[in-house]
Amino acid sequence: MVRTGNGESVLSRVVRVLEAFDPDHRALRVSEIARRADLHVATASRIVEQLVGHGWLERDPRGVRVGVRMWELAVRSSPALGLRETVGPFMEDLHAVVGQHTQLGVRQGEEVLFLERRSAPGAVVNVTRIAGRLPLHVSSSGLVLLAHAPAEVQERVLSRPLPASGAAVTDPRRLRVLLSEVRRTGYVLSRGFIDRETAGIAAPVRGSTGEVVAALSVIVPNDENAVLAVPAVRTAARSASRAMGA
């Protein structure tokens, strides 16, 4: 593998350039890419030019953005594609019943990554978005995924300070109790964790060997009727699990 003068591989620099983009920074100037990737502007410019030539990046009036070619390759080969296709119909049914945000998330390290979302006009506030991430402890989807994560992942999360977010549980002892409750009941109802006016309800989606591969959730108003959506979420998650071969 080609390496630069400081021993860093060229591939590592390319990865840093691509990771400069996120849902809040979809188009960037080369100088911004260089700053976010911690590269010299001339180095970032050379890498950007090569990636544009291959279609992985594209230029637009605001600067540079991720190219369609990169999206094509990611979608074509992603293991998430089968999950989205299988769970999608059950998300649609759940969305039709609840009439609020419905979303599908998977665990990526110590964060939840949202693969899919259905929304509706007039739905409650929801900060999540497709390809967006949140710490595991601050959302209903994340709590379900953390509750069923390997023990070493749980211990890493519980052993370090957890960022505060609304009413999210940050005390390790209380969080352990909550995770145990999630495993026992098969769902979680989190009130006001991100926005005090909303509540998240999530249930696990299991794969063919019974392992939890995703979390299906809804975001509803944080009122006395929130609990009424729990049966619909659990039913949709169980149906999706059966479709996954569980």
Convert 96-164 into a string of H (helix), E (strand) and C (coil). Answer: HHHCCEEEEEEEECCEEEEEEEECCCCCCCCCCCCCCEEEHHHCHHHHHHHHCCCHHHHHHHHCCCCCC
Q: What is the pLDDT of residues 106-162, one digit of tens each?
A: 999 999 999 999 988 888 888 888 888 999 999 999 999 999 999 999 999 999 999
155-211 pLDDT, tens digit per residue, is 999 999 998 888 899 999 999 999 999 999 999 999 999 889 999 999 999 999 999
% of residues, the chain, pLDDT over 70: 96
Q: How far is CA 225 from CA 118, 189, 217, 229, in A?
A: 20, 12, 16, 8
Q: Provide the residue ranges of all domains of the chain, joining segments of one domain with +.
A: 10-71, 78-243
CATH of the domain spanning 10-71: 1.10.10.10
Residue 2 has pLDDT above 50, yes or no: no
The domain made up of 78-243 is a member of CATH 3.30.450.40: yes
**pLDDT tens digits for range 65-87:** 999 898 888 777 666 778 888 99
Strands 101-108 and 198-206: unpaired
HSE-CB at 118 with a 13 A cutoff on CA atoms is: 20
Overall average pLDDT of the 228-240 stretch: 97
